Structure 1
Amino acid sequence: MSHASLEQKILDKTAKVGIIGLGYVGLPLAVEFADKGFYVLGIDTDRNKVSKLNRGENYIADVEDDRLKRLVNEGLLEGTTMYGRVGELDIIFICVPTPFTPNKEPDISYIVQATEGIAEHLRKEQLVILKSTTFPETTEKVVLPKLESTGLKVGQDFYLAFSPERIDPGRKDFTTANTPVVVGGVTKKCTKLTKLACEQVIAKIVTVSSPRTAEMVKLLENIFRSVNIALVNELAQLCDRMGNIDVWEVVQAAATKPFGFMPFYPGPGIGGHCILVDPYYLSWKAKEYDFHSDFIELAARTNENMPYYVLDLIIRSLSSNGAALKTAKYLFLGIAFKRNVDDTRNSPALKIMELLVQRGAQNVAYNDPFVPEVNLNGMTLKSRELNKDLLQQADCVVITTDHSTYDFKFIVDHAKLVIDTRNATKDITHGREKIVRLGCGM
C-alpha cells in the first residue's frame, strides 16, 4: 500500500474508523463518522458503555437517540472492549480521559494504555490521531516512541497527529460537526491525512506546524477561560466584602464596551473535565523547563477555592437567620457542573455538599432534573421532587446550577433563605430579603 491508497480510502469512505474512548468526546465523533457512511468501531474498557452501544442505547445527551440506534442497526457503528481488532482499522482516534493525580500532576495512564493497545496491532498505512487534552510533547515523546518501537516509521509506514477535542456539553449551536478543529501532524504527510480525515465530518480544519503546537493551543483555550473566571471570582469576593457593589451589574455594564473586553461570570467554582485540570498540566510541563507558571497556578487555585468561599457564605447567611450548620436542612438546586447537562465531573455543587457533610451537616438534599442520583462520600443520594413542601422544609436553598427548567420565582416564594451563586434570581422582585447573591454583599 502507499500513502495515496489511504487517502483514496478516506475519500471513498471505505476507510474503517476506530474510536478509543466512548465518552463525551468519542461517542459524538463516532456517530458523525458513521453518519457519513464510514464503518466505525468504538473501543472502550467500560463493558456497560459497549453493551449499551451495541444495543443502540444512547448514554450521552449530545447524541440523538434515534440517530445512534439507526447507525447501529445499519451496521455502521459497533463497540468492543478488545484491542485485538485495531489491526482492522485505518484511522484510529484516541479520546480517553486525562485526569490529574491527588498531587495535581498529569495522569496520562489512559493515553499510555491506549497507545500500547494500538502498538500491539499497528500495521502499515494506519493513521493515529490523539484527541485527549494533554501537555505539549505528549504526542511526540510519549505516543510516538511506543508506536515506533514496533519497527514501523512515522510518516512512511504509519501516520500520527494531535487534534484536540473541542466539546462543550449541552451546546446545540456548536457541535462536533460545525466546531473548527486544530490539526498538527508529526510530518507534513501526517498533517495532510489527518486534515483529510477530519474534513469528512467537520466543517473547518485549521492546520498548525506540529503536534506540540496543537497541544499548546488546546491548553491556551482552556487556561484563558480559567484565568478570566478567576478574575471575576476574585472580584465577586471583593464586592461581597465591600457590600454595596453588585459584581453582576459591573460585568454587564463592562460588556457594553465593543472592543477590548469579553464578559466572564463568577460562580461556585469550576467543574467539568478540562478547565479545572488543564492549568496543572501546563504548569507541570513548564517545570521541566525550569519555568514556573505562577500566574496560571494562582488563577487555578482561586477557582478551586470558590466552593470553600460559598460554604462560608452559607454559614454566615444561616447564622444571620439563627440556624445552626449541623442541624440545618440544606437543599441544593442543580448539581451538574453547568446548566442543562447531566455531567457532574468535578462539580462544585458536590464539593460544597461534601464540605457541609464533613463539618457535620446531617440533612443535605438536592434536586437536579438531569441527574437522578449521585454518590456523595460513599452515600447514594437521589434527586428530590422539587415542590412547595421541600422548599419550605429547607433552612437553606442553594442555587448552584441554573438549569433553564427551574422556576426561580416559585423557588424564592417558598424558600426561607436562598443562596444564589449564578445570579439566577436577578429579576425576582418579591422576597428579595430572602436572597443572598454571590458578589453582591450580605
Structure 2
Amino acid sequence: MASSPAHDALSRKIEARTARAGVIGLGYVGLPLAIAIARSGFAVTGFDIDPAKIVSLEAKHSYIDAVASDDLALATDNKRFSATTDFALLADCDVIIICVPTPLTRHRDPDLSFVDATARSIAKHLRSGQLVVLESTTYPGTTDDVVKVILETTGLKSGTDFFIGFSPEREDPGNQHFNTATIPKIVAGDGADALLLMVRFYGAAVKTVVPVSSNATAEAVKLTENIFRSVNIALVNELKTVYAAMGIDVWEVIDAAKTKPFGYMPFYPGPGLGGHCIPIDPFYLTWKSREYELPTRFIELAGEINSAMPRYVIAKLAEALDMRAGKALSRSRVLVLGLAYKKNVADIRESPSLRLIEIIEERGGKADYHDPLVGEIPSTREYQHLKGRASVDLTPETISSYDAILVATDHDQVDYSAITRNAPLIVDTRNVFSRLGLSGDHIIKA
C-alpha cells in the first residue's frame, strides 16, 4: 500500500533536517530530549506552562543537571532551540513530542489529566503532515485509545493525515555513563508509516533505535523495566528486615552474592522508593489489569513492601535512640541526611526523605535535613506543609547538636568522617559508612 502524501512530505523534511520539533514539558525528560534533538540538527521549540522555566531558558540558564547551560546557550545561539508558553506555535511544528507528568491519584489510579489536556491543546493546532509522539509513561493502550481518539476529533485521520507514535523516556538522573542520545530508544507507531517516521526521526537524534510492533508494546516495555526494579528492590528490602532479625548484614550478603558471574543481579535496600518512575509506574499496569480481571500480586506486594520501608526505618531509629541514648523519639532532634531520592542529584520527586521527616514529626520528634544539592524544600503535591524548610549547615557543632543523624541519601559531597566523629548516633539506610571503611558502635544500619 502506497504511503500518503502527508507521510512522504514529512519523511523528506526529517531526512533533510528541515522538520521543526516541538517538545511539550521541559522538565527532567523534555529538556534533555529537546537539546539532544537540537544537537542533531533539527530546530526545536520547547513548550511549558511554567513561565519561570521559559524565563530561565531564555536567559540560557539550565535548571536540569543533565543539560549544561553551555549546551543550552549553544543551541539557543545557533537558533536550534527556543522556548515558549504559546501553544499556538504547535502549528509550526512537524513533530510534536509529549513529555508531561503521569502521576497517580490519591487512590493509586492513573492520572492522565496532563496527557489529556496536552492532547486537546495539540488538537486545536493539528494539521496534516504532523507526527505526534507520547513519551510519558502510561498503561498499554493510552496512545491509541486516548491521545489518538482526541486528535481524531479534528476530522483528521491517523496514518493518513497525521501520524502518532510512542517512545518511552529512559532518563536516569545522575548517570554519568549514559545520556539521552546514547540510551537505546524504543519506538513504535500507529501503522507502518508512523513507525517508519519514528525510526527516521529518533534515529537522527539518538545512537540506537529499537522498533517494536505496536504502541501498546512500547508502553508495556517501559512498565516492565520499572516493575522489574520495583519487585527486586522490594525483595531486598524484605530480605533486609529478615536478615536484620537474624543478625545478618544484608549488604554483606549482597556483596558476596554478586561475585557469582551468572544468574544474579545485585539490587540494594533503602529507606523507600523515590523518583517519578519506580514508585508510580507499576500501578499503571495494576490499574489496567483490572479491565481483564487479572491479579497483579507481585506488583502490588512489592508496592506494599517498599511503601512500608520508611516506617521500618523510623522504628529502627526509635529503637536505637531508646537503647543507646535512653531517649524517646518524641523528645529527640533528628537530622535527615539527604533530601533527594538518589545520590548526587537534586531531584526530590517521591523522595522517601520527605516521608521520613513527616513520620518523625508525627511521633513528636523534631526533624531537620541537610542536602548539599537541595537548599530548600520546594512545593510538592503530598508534602506542601514542608515547603520552604531550608537545609541546615553541616558543621561539627550542628552534627553534635542532634540526637541522631538519619542517612537517607548518600551524596558524595558529604563529609562522612566528620559525621562519624561528631554524631552521637547514626542510623544508616545506605551502608555508606561501611563502604567508606568508617565504623563505630554508634553507627546502626537500618
Normalised by the size of structure 2, how large is the TM-score? Answer: 0.96
Q: Give the match for residue 259 of structure 2.
A: 256
How many Å apart are 1:117 and its aligned residue?
A: 0.6
Q: Aligned pair in 2 of structure 1 residues 180, 379: CA closer, same or farther (>3 Å)?
A: closer
**1:378 Cα offset (Å):** 4.1
1:266-345 superposed matches below 5 A: 266-320=269-323, 321-345=325-349
Question: Matched residue pairs, number?
Answer: 436
Q: Deviations over 1:319-355 (max 9, x none)?
A: 1121221221111111100000000011011110011
Letter in 1 for 2:19: A
One-letter code aligned to 2:304: R
Partner of 2:141: 137
Runs of 4+ in structure 1 deviating by more than 6 angstroms, as ranges, are none
Report the equivalent of 1:98.
Answer: 102
How big is each residue's C-alpha offset from its partner over 1:370-427, in whole Å with a ceiling of 9 and x where there is no partner? 1011155245211111111111111000111001112222211111000000000114
The answer on whether the counterparts of 1:413 and 1:430 sit within 8 Å (CA) in structure 2 is no
| Distance (whole Å) between structure 2 residues aligned to residue 430 and residue 262 of structure 1 | 26
Letter in 2 for 1:434: H
For 2:84 and 2:273, locate their aligned partners in 1 and report how far apart those are by CA, in whole Å: 33
Q: Which residue of 2 aligns with 1:49?
A: 53
Unaligned 5+ residue runs, structure 2? none
Counterpart mapping for 1:208-219 below 5 A? 208-219=212-223
Tell me the equivalent position of 2:403: 395
Q: For the residues of structure 1 that align with 2:333 and 2:225, how far apart are their CA atoms?
A: 40
Does the C-alpha gap of structure 1 residues 386 and 21 become closer, same or farther in structure 2, counting only changes over 3 Å?
Answer: same
Per-residue deviation, 1:118: 0.6
* Matched-pair contact (CA < 8 Å) for 2:47–2:86: yes
Q: Which of 176, 182, 188 in structure 2 is aligned with 1:184?
A: 188
Identity score, percent: 45
What does 1:26-41 correspond to in 2, within 5 Å? 26-41=30-45
| TM-score, with structure 1 as normaliser | 0.97
One-letter amino acid matched to 1:181: K
Which stretch shifts more, 118-127 or 320-329? 320-329
Query: Which residue of structure 1 lines up, in the alignment, with residue 420 of structure 2?
Result: 412
Counterpart in the other structure of 1:14: 18
Q: 1:308 to 1:3 in 2, by over 3 A?
A: same
RMSD: 1.2
Is it true that 1:265 corresponds to 2:268 in the alignment?
Answer: yes
User: Does the CA contact (< 8 Å) of 2:377 and 2:386 recur in 1?
Assistant: no
Matches of 1:197 and 1:172 in 2, distance apart?
25
| Residue of structure 1 equivalent to 2:389 | 381
Amino acid at match of 2:245: R
For the residues of structure 2 that align with 1:431 and 1:152, how far apart are their CA atoms?
67
8 Å Cα contact 1:22-1:95 kept in structure 2: yes
Of residues 325-334 and 254-263 in structure 1, the stretch that sits farther from structure 2 once superposed is: 325-334
Q: Give the conservation status (yes or no) of the 8 Å contact 1:329–1:394.
A: yes
2:433 alignment partner AA: T
Which aligned pairs between 1:149-160 and structure 2 lie closer than 5 A? Answer: 149-160=153-164
| Deviation digits for residues 215-253 of structure 1 (CA, Å, limit 9, x no counterpart) | 00000000000000000000000112112x110011111
Question: Which 5+ residue runs of structure 1 have no aligned equivalent?
Answer: none
Q: Distance in 1 between the 2:194 and 2:42 partners?
A: 20
Aligned equivalents of 1:405 and 1:292: distance in 2? Answer: 44
CA spacing shift, 1:379–1:273, aligned 2, 3 Å? closer
How far off its partner does 1:75 sit? 2.3
Shift of 1:7: 1.1
CA deviations over 1:270-310 (Å, ceiling 9, x no partner): 00000000111100000011111011100011101101111
Instruction: Report SS of the residue matched to 2:432.
Output: coil
Give the drift of 1:431.
Answer: 4.8
Between 219-228 and 150-159, the greater mean CA deviation after superposition: 150-159
* 1:122-158 CA-partner distances (Å, limit 9, x unpaired): 1011000100000000011101111111111111111
Partner of 2:117: 113
- State how far apart, in whole Å, the 1-side matches of 2:16 and 2:413 are: 45
Partner of 2:110, secondary structure, is coil
1:378 and 1:14 map into 2 onto residues whose CA distance is: 47
Question: 1:71 — aligned with what?
Answer: 75
| SS of corresponding position for 1:330 | strand
Partner of 1:4: 8
Structure 2 counterpart of 1:308, one-letter code: R
Kindly provide the amino acid, as one letter, of the partner of residue 381 in structure 1. Answer: R
Contact 1:56 / 1:73 at 8 angstroms: preserved in 2? no
CA contact (8 A) 2:54 2:85 kept: yes
Question: Residue 237 in 1 paired to residue 245 in 2?
Answer: no
**Local SS of the residue matching 1:145:** helix
- The 2-side partners of 1:297 and 1:306 are apart by 15
Residue-by-residue CA offset, 1:11-64 (whole Å, 9 max, x unaligned)? 111100000000000000111111222111111111111221122111001101
Question: SS of the counterpart of 2:281?
Answer: helix
Aligned CA distance change for structure 1 residues 373 and 278 (closer, same or farther; 3 Å): same
- Distance, in Å, in 1 between the alignment partners of 2:354 and 2:128 is 47
